[in-house]
Amino acid sequence: MKTTIALPAGLAALLLGASLTTGTAQASDDAECIAPAKPGGGYDLTCRLAANGLLETGLIEDPMLVTYMPGGIGAVAYNHVNGVRTDDPNLIVAASTGAAVNLALGKFGQYDASEVRWVGALGVDYGAIVVKADAPWQNLEELMTALQEDPTQVAFGAGGSVGSQDWMKAALTAKSADVDPRSLRYVAFEGGGEALAALLGNHIQVFTGDLSELKSQLESGDIRVLAALAEERVEGPYADIPTAAEQGYDVEWPIWRGYYMGPEVSDEAYQAWVEKFEQLAENDTFAELREARGLFPMALFGDDFDGYVKDQVAEFKQLAADVGLTQ
């Protein structure tokens, strides 16, 4: 397989002309966060985490504008910031481990991880293997047994194409049971919200999403989480969910929730956002907001976060080779 996955033909036009859909929050004249997907998924959650946190703690005076720029699982937004809004001091863009994966695979076109200014991460989430409440599999071992018998009979789906972080979750889980990830039947969606809706509508059978996206569905009883891809059980509403490791499958997938800015943003503007996030991370009110969204503490900012992301991209390039995406 090719090491670099090219952007679809005609995407360049989309990068400059992509439309923005305004969120329900009242717009501010200044601060803005772009969610690089449709409403309802992890990027939406990431933008609103910053928007609500900064407003409720008094670190900004007016509500932050949250806009949506789906396309290419983050590629359109990344290219838009690099091509159009390179020096906007008021713009942050939601990012996650998934962005690092896509950068490692070359899915953002000509740009790599060094093309933007990585501001910081305010929380961490964990991957999850999810089925409907009435699915035939009661635990991860039963699902793995079905995959070993015939992987094409189980339809996976998630908010990302083959090679995305959600596909990686499925691939690594299958690989831990000696199932070739390339044999998986996988359906790609634009965001986690669409994929979860497809699961509930019986269009797919397994959703590889994030724990934070599942809180309301857990409460309704519509889904069953077969495994959390964390190093140990997490607290709160997820305390009863076993990890993959405790079921005999050595798979972990932490997902940071963070932000970047344009490559030509001034040092002054960049540092101002770093300082805002540092203050936010130490605030008790924000800690409650983060917990309410199913996220767990992570505070990494400025140069430390920039180095972390770039190191992670390098690690994912090797991981992609390990699961057969690259040679």
Torsion of CA 78, 80, 84, 90, to 10 degrees: -60
**In the CATH hierarchy, which fold is given to the domain comprising 126-247?**
D-Maltodextrin-Binding Protein; domain 2 (3.40.190)
pLDDT at 327: 62
Domains of the chain by residue range: 11-125+254-322, 126-247
Cα(6)–Cα(3) distance, integer angstroms: 10
- Comparing 215 with 169, the larger pLDDT belongs to 169
Cα(301)–Cα(306) distance, integer angstroms: 8
Of the listed ranges 92-96, 170-174, 271-275, the least confidently predicted one is 170-174
Backbone angles phi, psi at 205, to 5 degrees: -110, -25
In this predicted model, what pLDDT tens digit does every residue of 33-64 receive, in sequence order?
999 999 988 899 999 999 999 999 999 999 99
pLDDT at 73: 81
Residue in 314, 306, 302, 301 with CA at minimum distance from that of residue 101: 314
In this predicted model, what pLDDT tens digit does every residue of 65-74 receive, in sequence order?
999 999 988 9
Query: In whole angstroms, what separates CA 277 from the centre of its chain?
Result: 19
Of the listed ranges 214-218, 219-223, 225-229, the least confidently predicted one is 214-218
In this predicted model, what pLDDT tens digit does every residue of 229-288 receive, in sequence order?
998 998 888 899 999 999 999 999 988 999 999 999 999 999 999 999 999 999 999 999
Strand pairing partners for 131? Answer: 224
**159, amino acid identity:** G
CATH classification of 11-125+254-322 is 3.40.190.150, yes or no? yes
User: CA angle, 113 as apex, 321 and 229 as ends, to 5°?
Assistant: 55
Residue ranges in 7-157 assigned as alpha helix (H): 11-17, 42-56, 75-83, 97-104, 140-149
- Residue 133 burial (10 A CB sphere; 0-12, 13-18, 19+): exposed
Backbone angles phi, psi at 261, to 5 degrees: -130, 170
Strand pairing partners for 66? Answer: 33
Backbone angles phi, psi at 77, to 5 degrees: -65, -45
Question: Averaged over 291-304, what is the pLDDT?
Answer: 90
Pairing state between β 206-210 and 155-158: parallel
Q: How confident is the model at residue 78 (pLDDT cuts 50, 70, 90)?
A: very high
In percent, the amount of the chain with pLDDT more than 90 equals 65
CB 146 within 8 A of CB 137: yes
In this predicted model, what pLDDT tens digit does every residue of 119-165 receive, in sequence order?
999 999 899 999 999 999 999 999 999 999 999 999 999 988 888 88
CB 246 within 8 A of CB 80: no
Q: Do domains 11-125+254-322 and 126-247 have the same CATH topology?
A: yes
